């Protein structure tokens, strides 16, 4: 298996009046091709900062991040743009679809930014839409869709360019439990059927229980790691809950 | 280069046009303001073409001066509009931070985002330029009607007016503005970090610290404002423009202080009235206004300042214009006046003194000679020993303007016989004088009071030439002795003709009416002006054009600047309110979740808007009322009806334009807040 992501001694500090907050403090881990990895932690644990650094949205204080062997911490803005469009796919908590565009155009835009030929764009959009079951809603505008529908359009947009790594930031945070369930099935399908490598940040144990491996972050450091192995989702969820209670997490998130 | 073409042009164009179309409602105020600005710019710069259409001669370059002044004002207007466009653009950029963040996330380069922005700017700019020009061409037809009315020419020679020069200037000026805006946008884009773009709406708002000095500032502001009012009221007849400037500045400072302090004072007051405070959403509205006014007080004050400047400038401009217009006929009652000064420079003092100007013109083969009909000539003498200040200074006390006019110069006098001839020429009765009497003639209306006072104070014996003369009882007469562009004769002594004998005249005037074709006569005059030297010619026609161009300039510059200020004020306020509404989305959402009814929320929005638009409007109305009342006291020759009409017109225009912005903003905010 090829290593898609390698994080080495990553540090991210914030300076506020007189004190330094170590949001990410010496984190090391690797993600291999085809993995579906979750990062869990309470709010303020540094998990979103970690994701922002990996996704090139934020700059690191020290350390290195290699995606497909390339060090993104050394890249300039222009190369970063090229890198983002070719190697990364994004799914956000608040969807971040462009509301001036229909679902179809939102997906197509990702392809035109990569420079795909106009002829194949339509075909690719249709293929991915039927794979994710969003053909019915694809010609609506984002404000005409439900949260779950929007998030699945965002999935389609993230995977249509066949990126090396899909990054999801609290993707179920704004969804009700039914939509969240449907969305997570879609994400799981993308991982198993379409061989997408997914890194997801969440604080929700139910969401996390869909992953194959979970890293727990506390105070900017990796606290422990769980691998699903042959467990059913329910068994894995119970194991996650044990770690969460150890972390002093909030049990009310357990669905 | 291959890299550059990576994203197809089509996608870009589509994105840009879709963005503009989908956010048309956001862009409406921007578009409206730009269109209006272009229209204004074109219309007022097309006056050259209007003059040409009416075939008004511009011998003395008054009209080109008016045109030049308009161009000068246009630069100022452009600067204001440029500022406004950048401000409006910043609002739009702010609303779209997240969108740019998403483009970046999808891997679009900043350069490509800038290109989308440029396409949008070109699209919006192009549309508003075209719309503005079309409107401008229409509006300039309307302005042509006004010009024809002011110029007193009929619409017989009217044809559709189009000014290529004004059009080219509009395109160039606004092209430059758009270029500037684009450069600004690109720089803004470069400065922004991706993380800030994506999470722009999650930033916490910082509320400026509470300041304790609100009451002190409030008192200070009232003092400044009242000081400004008093200054304009009591000193503006001394030096209108200087005092007006100083007074307006004081009022401006007072206004800024007022808007900084008013929120604090008002909120403290309202919070203590529990019955009001806890009723409905009042608590929310009061605090909302309180926190907003602290951060936006300055710009609201600027809006208020722009408004009262605008209304005052428009009102005063029209007033000055009418004032100068009412003079035509009084200042130049003769078709032509020809002046000759006996200072040796004219070259033939002896000949003129002996045979008069008319004969001398004939002798010099002036073409004009054949057109001169009825004419009279009069000599002016300067008294060596009498000066105006000594003679009338005391009587002029109490009237600043008159005091200044009587400050310098020696007393001039004319002979009775010649003066009477002129009076008869004008259709006035001849006057009579005893051998040792003199009379005083004037044409500046305000001088009369001074002269009457002079007679009343008793000591009126003068020594002129070699005689001592007493003033004839009630011997104060009004007459215009020769064509001038203003009524400037504050006192000329009329003495018995024999007193002037043996005195050396200072100047000789011939007043004449044309005989035959007036237009031919005028062209002969233009020819003589260049060829027959030594004389100063002032024809009624040139003076009319000069006065007319003065009126045009005062009225149009007033209107031009006034409307620009108004639009700026309205647009700034509108954009600010729309930004706030966007920021308030979460708050209203929360109110909704807490169970506030739609009706109550609409009402709270309306109250806030009314406060925001109404307060500066009210303050500006009071300011401009005081300023105009002060200034109109010093503008001569105006009737109450004129003044009332000007004020109504200026304030009516303000209400309409401002109202459009208010309604647009309210409905825009309702849309943003989904109420």
Q: Tell me the nearest-neighbour CA distance from A225 into chain B, angstroms.
A: 28
Strand-pair category, B410-415 with A198-202: unpaired
A119 touches chain B (CB under 8 A): no
Among the partner residues A84, A97, A105, nearest to B107 by beta-carbon distance: A84
Q: Tell me the nearest-neighbour CA distance from B15 into chain A, angstroms.
A: 8
Identify the helix (H) or strand (E) that includes residue A87: helix A77-87
Which range has the worst mean pLDDT, A190-204, B128-142, B485-499?
Answer: B485-499
Half-sphere exposure of B331 (CA within 13 A, CB side): 23
pLDDT averaged over every residue in chain B: 82
Taking only the tens place, the pLDDT of each residue in A126-148 is 999 999 989 999 999 888 899 99
Task: Please give the torsion angle defined by the CA atoms of residues B648, B649, B652 and B656, in that order, rounded to the nearest 10 degrees.
Answer: 180
- Which residue from B363, B378, B405 is spatially nearest to B497, judged by alpha carbons? B378
Domain locations along chain A? 3-253
Q: How confident is the model at residue B211 (pLDDT cuts 50, 70, 90)?
A: low
Yes or no, beta carbons of B107 and A114 under 8 Å apart: yes
Which range has the worst mean pLDDT, A44-58, B309-323, B661-675?
Answer: B309-323
Mean pLDDT of all residues in B302-314 = 87
- Which residue from A199, A203, A220 is spatially nearest to A63, judged by alpha carbons? A220
What integer pLDDT is reported at residue A226 of this predicted model? 93
- Which residue from B620, B641, B608, B58 is spatially nearest to B288, judged by alpha carbons? B608
DSSP B675: -
Integer angstrom CA distances of residue B503 from B34, B355, B372, B411? 68, 17, 29, 14
Contacts of B15 in chain A (CB under 8 A): 101, 109
Q: How confident is the model at residue A252 (pLDDT cuts 50, 70, 90)?
A: very low
- The better pLDDT of the pair B399, A68 is held by A68
Nearest CA in chain A to B112: A113
Nearest CA in chain A to B22: A100
- Selected residues 121-160 of chain A with any CB under 8 Å from a CB in chain B: 157
- The better pLDDT of the pair A91, B26 is held by A91
Q: Tell me the nearest-neighbour CA distance from B102 into chain A, angstroms.
A: 7
Angle between helices B164-191 and B24-45 (to 10 degrees): 140
Identify the helix (H) or strand (E) that includes residue A2: none
Taking only the tens place, the pLDDT of each residue in B175-189 is 888 888 888 888 888
DSSP string, B90-139: HHHHHHTHHHHHHHHHTT--HHHHHHHHHHHHHHHHHHHHHHHHHHHHHH
Structure tokens at B102: 């998403």
Q: Mutate one of A53, A85, A140 to test the B interface: name it (highest B CB count within 10 A).
A: A85
Yes or no, beta carbons of A84 and B23 under 8 Å apart: no
Measure the CA–CA gap between B354 and B361, rounded to whole angstroms: 13
Yes or no, beta carbons of B110 and A115 under 8 Å apart: no
Q: Considering only the top CATH level, what class is A3-253?
A: alpha beta
Yes or no, beta carbons of B18 and A85 under 8 Å apart: no
pLDDT averaged over every residue in chain A: 89
**Interface ipTM > 0.85:** no
Structure tokens at B47: 């006056």
Contact between B665 and B578 (Cβ < 8 Å): yes
Nearest CA in chain B to A117: B8
Yes or no, beta carbons of A98 and B99 under 8 Å apart: yes
A93 touches chain B (CB under 8 A): no
Taking only the tens place, the pLDDT of each residue in B446-493 is 888 888 888 888 788 888 878 888 888 888 998 888 888 777 788 899
* B190 φ/ψ angles, rounded to the nearest 5 degrees: -65, -35
- The better pLDDT of the pair B289, A235 is held by A235
Yes or no, beta carbons of B102 and A98 under 8 Å apart: yes
Tokens 């030297």 sit at which residue?
A: B533
What integer pLDDT is reported at residue A255 of this predicted model? 39
| Adjacency order of strands within the sheet including A36-40 | A88-91, A165-169, A198-202, A36-40, A213-218, A221-227
Interface of B with A (CB under 8 A): 6-8, 10-11, 15, 18-19, 22-23, 98-99, 101-112, 194-195, 198
What integer pLDDT is reported at residue B105 of this predicted model? 86
Angle between helices A77-87 and B110-151 (to 10 degrees): 110
What integer pLDDT is reported at residue A12 of this predicted model? 92
Beta-sheet strands, E only, within B202-358:
336-341
Size of interface A-B (CB pairs under 8 A): 69
DSSP string, A111-128: HHHHT--HHHHHHHHHHH
Nearest CA in chain B to A90: B105
Angle at A68 between CA A63 and CA A70, to 5 degrees: 50
Q: How confident is the model at residue A215 (pLDDT cuts 50, 70, 90)?
A: very high
The pTM of this model reads: 0.75
Is the Cα torsion angle B318, B320, B324, B326 positive or negative in sign? Answer: positive
Q: Tell me the nearest-neighbour CA distance from B598 into chain A, angstroms.
A: 21
Mean pLDDT of all residues in B424-438 = 88
Mean pLDDT of all residues in B88-103 = 81
A110 touches chain B (CB under 8 A): yes
Q: Tell me the nearest-neighbour CA distance from A127 into chain B, angstroms.
A: 20
Mean pLDDT of all residues in B34-54 = 85
């Amino acid at each position: 298996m090829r290593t898609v992501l390698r994080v080495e001694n990553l540090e991210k500090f914030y300076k506020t009046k007189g004190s330094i907050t170590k949001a990410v403090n010496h984190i090391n881990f690797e993600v291999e091709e085809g993995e579906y990895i979750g990062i869990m932690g309470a709010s303020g644990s540094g998990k979103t900062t970690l994701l922002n650094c990996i996704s090139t949205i934020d700059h690191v204080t020290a350390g290195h991040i290699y995606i497909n062997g390339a060090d993104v911490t050394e890249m300039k803005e222009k190369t970063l743009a090229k890198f983002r469009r070719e190697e990364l796919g994004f799914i956000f908590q608040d969807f971040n679809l462009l509301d001036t565009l229909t679902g179809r155009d939102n997906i197509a835009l990702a392809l035109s930014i990569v420079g795909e030929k106009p002829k194949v764009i339509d075909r690719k959009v249709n293929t991915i839409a039927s794979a994710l079951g969003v053909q019915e809603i694809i010609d609506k505008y984002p404000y005409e869709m439900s949260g779950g529908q929007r998030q699945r359009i965002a999935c389609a947009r993230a995977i249509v360019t066949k990126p090396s790594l899909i990054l999801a930031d609290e993707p179920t945070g704004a969804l009700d439990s039914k939509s969240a369930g449907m969305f997570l099935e879609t994400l799981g399908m993308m991982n198993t059927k379409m061989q997408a490598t997914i890194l997801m940040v969440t604080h929700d144990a139910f969401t996390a229980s869909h992953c194959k491996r979970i890293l727990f972050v506390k105070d900017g450091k990796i606290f422990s790691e769980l691998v699903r192995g042959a467990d059913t989702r329910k068994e894995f969820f119970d194991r996650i809950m044990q770690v969460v209670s150890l972390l002093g997490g909030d049990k009310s998130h357990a669905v | 280069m291959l890299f550059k073409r990576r994203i197809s042009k089509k996608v870009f164009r589509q994105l840009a046009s879709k963005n503009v179309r989908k956010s048309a409602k956001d862009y409406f105020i921007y578009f409206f303001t730009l269109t209006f600005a272009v229209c204004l710019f074109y219309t007022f710069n097309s006056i050259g073409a209007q003059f040409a259409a009416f075939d008004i001669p511009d011998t003395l370059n008054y009209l080109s001066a008016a045109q030049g002044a308009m161009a000068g004002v246009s630069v100022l207007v452009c600067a204001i509009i440029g500022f406004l466009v950048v401000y409006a653009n910043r609002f739009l950029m702010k609303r779209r931070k997240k969108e740019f963040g998403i483009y970046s996330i999808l891997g679009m380069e900043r350069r490509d985002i800038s290109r989308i922005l440029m396409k949008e700017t070109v699209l919006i700019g192009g549309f508003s330029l075209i719309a503005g020009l079309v409107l401008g061409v229409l509006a300039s037809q309307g302005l042509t009607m006004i010009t024809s009315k002011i110029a007193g020419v009929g619409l017989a020679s009217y044809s559709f007016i189009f000014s290529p020069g004004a059009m080219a200037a509009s395109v160039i000026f606004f092209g430059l503005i758009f270029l500037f805006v684009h450069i600004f946008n690109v720089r803004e884009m470069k400065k922004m970090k991706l993380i800030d773009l994506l999470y722009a709406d999650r930033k916490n708002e910082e509320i400026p610290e509470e300041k304790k000095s609100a009451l002190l500032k409030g008192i200070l502001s009232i003092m400044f404002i009242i000081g400004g009012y008093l200054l304009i009221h009591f000193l503006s007849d001394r030096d209108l423009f200087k005092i007006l400037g100083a007074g307006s500045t004081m009022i401006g400072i007072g206004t800024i202080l007022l808007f900084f302090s008013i929120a604090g004072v008002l909120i403290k007051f309202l919070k203590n009235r529990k019955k009001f405070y806890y009723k409905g959403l009042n608590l929310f509205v009061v605090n909302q206004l309180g926190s907003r006014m602290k951060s936006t007080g300055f710009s609201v004050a600027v809006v208020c300042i722009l408004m009262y400047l605008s209304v005052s400038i428009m009102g005063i401009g029209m007033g000055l214009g009418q004032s100068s217009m009412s003079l035509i006929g009084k200042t130049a009652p003769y078709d032509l006046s020809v002046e000759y000064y006996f200072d040796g420079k004219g070259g033939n003092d002896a000949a003129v003194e002996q045979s008069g100007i008319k004969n001398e013109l004939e002798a010099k083969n002036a073409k004009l000679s054949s057109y001169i009909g009825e004419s009279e000539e009069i000599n002016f003498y300067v008294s060596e020993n009498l000066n105006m200040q000594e003679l009338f200074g005391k009587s002029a006390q109490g009237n600043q303007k008159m005091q200044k006019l009587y400050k310098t110069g020696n007393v001039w006098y004319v002979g009775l016989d010649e003066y009477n001839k002129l009076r008869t020429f004008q259709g006035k009765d001849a006057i009579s004088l005893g051998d040792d009497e003199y009379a005083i003639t004037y044409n500046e209306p305000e001088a009369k009071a001074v002269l009457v006072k002079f007679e009343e104070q008793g000591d009126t014996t003068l020594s002129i030439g070699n005689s001592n003369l007493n003033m004839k009882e009630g011997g104060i007469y009004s007459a215009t002795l020769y064509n001038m562009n203003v009524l400037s004769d504050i006192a000329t002594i009329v003495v018995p003709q024999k007193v002037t004998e043996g005195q050396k005249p200072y100047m000789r005037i011939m007043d004449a009416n044309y005989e035959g074709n007036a237009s031919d006569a005028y062209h002969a005059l233009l020819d003589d002006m260049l060829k027959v030297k030594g004389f100063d010619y002032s024809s009624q026609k040139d003076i009319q054009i000069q006065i007319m161009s003065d009126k045009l300039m005062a009225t149009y510059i007033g209107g031009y600047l006034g409307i620009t200020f108004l639009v700026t004020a309205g647009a700034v306020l509108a954009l600010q309110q729309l930004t706030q509404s966007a920021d308030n989305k979460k708050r209203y959402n929360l109110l909704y979740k807490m169970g506030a009814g739609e009706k109550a929320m609409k009402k709270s929005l309306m109250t806030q808007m009314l406060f925001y638009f109404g307060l500066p409007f009210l303050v500006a109305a009071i300011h401009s009322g005081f300023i105009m009342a002060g200034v109109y006291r010093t503008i001569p020759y105006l009737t109450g009806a004129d003044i009332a009409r000007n004020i109504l017109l200026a304030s009516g225009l303000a209400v309409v334009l401002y109202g459009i912005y208010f309604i647009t903003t309210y409905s825009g905010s309702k849309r943003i807040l989904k109420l």
